């Protein structure tokens, strides 16, 4: 796991917890999520922001597979974000979730809402392995996931993450080609919204 030195507290933090923070005077610093939120609280005049660091938890999906989620909260002035994500090879990968709350909201109440959101998402599988050499297939008539950038391609192409699994645009196209002639509805939502 890649560690980055936080210029606020002096500790080494995982790279997924670091924010490149710039001030009005043009100075940029690498800050861990706690130092970043403390800096924003100071600038915003928020005295009672709960900057508790949340520990990772494991949640099983509907197939019984265990997923470990890490949490990072960040104060962004008039709102706070709570991100939950899996880590693979030191970076965010797999399932990722976000909720937005009020800076005065209890962080553990937000955590409870996040766990409920994660459990709901993990209760359904949208893709399945066909097992007959055809690879992954759409399990039902609905697919929910996240759009990412496929860095393995020479040209900038998207990929999707469905059921916490990265799928190339080409493979996703193959999966939906079995529905040729059918209609579809593509709805793109902010990462913090329920899909």
Indicate if the pLDDT at residue 157 is higher than 70: yes
91-105 residue pLDDT tens:
889 999 999 999 989
User: 81 vs 10, 11, 27, CA distance in Å?
Assistant: 24, 22, 24
The pLDDT tens digits of the residues spanning 4-45 come to 999 999 999 999 999 999 877 888 999 999 999 999 999 899
What is the predicted pLDDT for the residue at 1? Answer: 67
- The tokens describing 32, both together, are 């861990």
How confident is the model over 42-67, as a mean pLDDT? 93
Indicate the burial class of 40 (C-beta count within 10 angstroms; 0-12, 13-18, 19 or more): buried
- Inter-residue contact 96 to 83 (CB < 8 Å): yes
Residue 194 has pLDDT above 90, yes or no: no
Reduce the DSSP state of residue 184 to 3 states and report it: coil
What percentage of the chain carries pLDDT values higher than 70?
A: 98
Does residue 171 carry a pLDDT above 70?
Answer: yes
Beta-strand ranges (E) seen in the chain are 3-5, 12-14, 18-22, 28-32, 57-60, 66-75, 80-88, 91-101, 127-129, 136-138, 145-150, 157-162, 165-168
Q: With bands split at pLDDT 50, 70 and 90, how would you rate the model's confidence at 195?
A: low
């Amino acid at each position: 796991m890649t560690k980055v030195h936080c210029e606020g507290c002096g500790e080494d933090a995982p790279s997924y917890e670091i924010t490149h923070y710039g001030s009005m005077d043009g100075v940029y610093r690498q800050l861990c999520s706690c130092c970043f939120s403390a800096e924003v609280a100071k600038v915003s005049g928020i005295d009672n922001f709960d900057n508790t660091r949340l520990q990772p938890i494991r949640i099983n999906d509907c197939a019984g597979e265990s997923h470990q989620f890490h949490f990072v909260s960040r104060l962004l002035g008039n709102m706070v974000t709570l991100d939950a994500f899996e880590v693979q090879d030191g970076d965010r990968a797999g399932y990722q979730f976000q909720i937005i709350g009020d800076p005065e909201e209890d962080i553990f109440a937000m955590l409870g809402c996040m766990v409920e959101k994660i459990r709901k998402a993990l209760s359904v599988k949208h893709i399945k392995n066909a097992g007959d050499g055809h690879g992954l297939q759409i399990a039902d008539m609905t697919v929910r996931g996240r759009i990412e950038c496929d860095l393995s391609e020479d040209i900038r192409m998207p990929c999707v993450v469905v059921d916490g699994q990265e799928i190339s645009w080409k493979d996703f196209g193959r999966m939906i080609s079995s529905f040729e002639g059918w209609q579809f509805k593509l709805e793109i939502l902010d990462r913090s919204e329920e899909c």
